[in-house]
Structure 1
Amino acid sequence: MKVANRTFIISGGASGLALATARDLHSAGAYVSLLDLNSDNGNKIASELGSRAKFFETDVSDTESIQKAVEGSVAWVKETGKEVGGVIAGAGVGLPGLIVDKKNEPIPISSIDFVLNINLRGTLDLIRQAVPYMTTNKPEGPDGERGVIVMIASSAAFDGQMGQVAYAASKGAVASLTLPLARDLSRYGIRAVTIAPAVFDSAMTKMMSNKVKQSLEKAMEWPKRAGEPEEFAKLVRTSVENPMLNGTVLRLDGAMRMPARL
């Protein structure tokens, strides 16, 4: 599917991997609708990118907030005439916590809800609200494609560490729903792809101590470094452009397998 002159709705689009993706798609001629809670950063980025970018302050754990953002994006599409070609569900959080701590206290259910509501529920809610505006697109190309959904899981979906029960559950669920989502959308010519990155440079990794970073490097095969956001963005663009990528989870980890503990 061509990236140029299509609108992509990107949650978490004001930071991290989702922002790198937005910049990459925009550089290829896409229109990007950025959904994020950080209004200062979001408005700044939209202003920087220019007329092919729009920001919507959005809490992906809130259905009405997503609805307003999607409706705003669709209204913008009507102005530009550039159909919604894809959704990049990039909003996500991590909140470590052992299922039972050293005091024999269970992890608060509020912590579990926080992670699941953003990483899993927020992903599905955004997709279900955006898809009806994609199913009516004019089919393009010999296969009659209408669009693509790209989700973000994590290597924690497969080899999560201690303290990552809620996070691994949320990302494992995203990985698991990829194939049935692709099957649900196949009749409309809409694909579903999930990318599962390992350690990438982000605000989260910048907060890690040198000891933790060194421990992570020991678990890396090659390259022995964190991934660059631009490397992630390249795989998103490939997922958009390659019609045979569908219903699959792509690990982007340099052969890294996380140890049980750091």
Structure 2
Amino acid sequence: MKLDQSMAAVVTGGASGLGAATARMLAAEGVKVTLFDRNGEQGAQVAKEIGGVFADVDVTDQASVEAGFDAARAAHGQERILVNCAGIAPVGKTTSRGEPHPMDMFEKVISVNLIGSFRCIALASTGISSLDPVTADGGRGVIVSTASVAAFDGQIGQVAYAASKAGVAGMTLPVARDLSKLGIRVMTIAPGIFETPMLLGLSQEVQESLGQQVPFPSRLGRATEYAQLVKSICENDMLNGETIRLDGAIRMAPR
């Protein structure tokens, strides 16, 4: 599917990090972009920079997400592309110091990372299915979600995060199968250690230490490299129903 000015996209978590890089990439290709995020100041700034639209959306709230899609479609028409980047990553062990893992934290992570992603997928795919195909194979659109290498190599203290991201990876194939007759492809990217706002807040020494854990290239991944893979997924019509590790061959140790 060729990216151009005839298309619209929604990027969740688009105010920073992987989402912002993806929004900038899509806009550079002429795509009309709407950003969903809770950070109004940053989201509005990125949207202004790329000539897009910002919507203050909580992916855990059905009405909020529906309103976000309504705003996106009012501004740009029905989207053909959804990129799910919204996510949180709190740390907590199954049991620690005589206390069980806080269940409200576990439920919140699942609600944002897994259920939030599926909520957006369900709403976007329903809209995309109404569009005419734009490829010779009958393709109507593309959905890309974000998992993590933690889905496969979850570390100590990552039980909630790993479970949520494993769920994102696990639903990729069945959702792709669900949407196959509608001409909507579904892919997931599982990034390794990337230059996200959280990691960039660490000292340079710590960032370099983390980067050295990556076999090659021995550095943190760049948000633009995530965006580059999103572009490839959009443009390569045979990419469907798979989770791609984008991690420099790292396999995470227990801690």
1: CA distance between counterparts of 2:208 and 2:33?
36
Q: Residues 143-199 of structure 1, C-alpha deviation per residue, up to 9 Å, x if partnerless?
A: 010001000000000101000000000000000000000000000000000000000
2: CA distance between counterparts of 1:233 and 1:21?
5
Alpha-carbon contact 2:142-2:234 (below 8 Å) kept = yes
Q: CA deviation at 1:116?
A: 0.8
1: CA distance between counterparts of 2:210 and 2:41?
32
Partner of 2:76: 77
Partner of 2:160: 166
* Percent of aligned pairs with the same amino acid: 43
Partner of 1:193: 187
Give the AA of the match of 2:11.
I
TM-score, normalisation: structure 1: 0.94
Give the AA of the match of 2:19.
A
Alignment pair present for 1:100 and 2:87? no
Query: What does 1:34-183 align with in structure 2 at a 5 Å threshold?
Result: 34-50=35-51, 53-78=52-77, 83-101=78-96, 103-183=97-177
Alpha-carbon contact 1:219-1:259 (below 8 Å) kept = no
Q: CA deviation at 1:74?
A: 1.6
Alpha-carbon contact 1:152-1:174 (below 8 Å) kept = yes
Alpha-carbon contact 2:36-2:54 (below 8 Å) kept = yes
Q: CA deviation at 1:45?
A: 1.6
Structure 2: unaligned runs, 5 residues or longer: none
3-state DSSP of counterpart to 2:83: strand
Q: Residues 109-150 of structure 1, C-alpha deviation per residue, up to 9 Å, x if partnerless?
A: 011011111100100111111211100111122101000100
2: CA distance between counterparts of 1:161 and 1:208?
19
Alpha-carbon contact 1:60-1:126 (below 8 Å) kept = yes
1: CA distance between counterparts of 2:207 and 2:252?
13
Aligned length: 254
RMSD (Å) for aligned C-alpha atoms: 1.3
Give the AA of the match of 1:143.
D
TM-score, normalisation: structure 2: 0.96
Alpha-carbon contact 1:36-1:56 (below 8 Å) kept = yes
3-state DSSP of counterpart to 2:171: helix
Q: Residues 53-95 of structure 1, C-alpha deviation per residue, up to 9 Å, x if partnerless?
A: 11101111111110100111122234xxxx4111101101100
Q: Residues 203-251 of structure 1, C-alpha deviation per residue, up to 9 Å, x if partnerless?
A: 1112335675455334310111000111110000001110000000000
1: CA distance between counterparts of 2:66 and 2:79?
15
**Alpha-carbon spacing, 1:163–1:211, altered in 2? closer, same or farther (3 Å):** farther
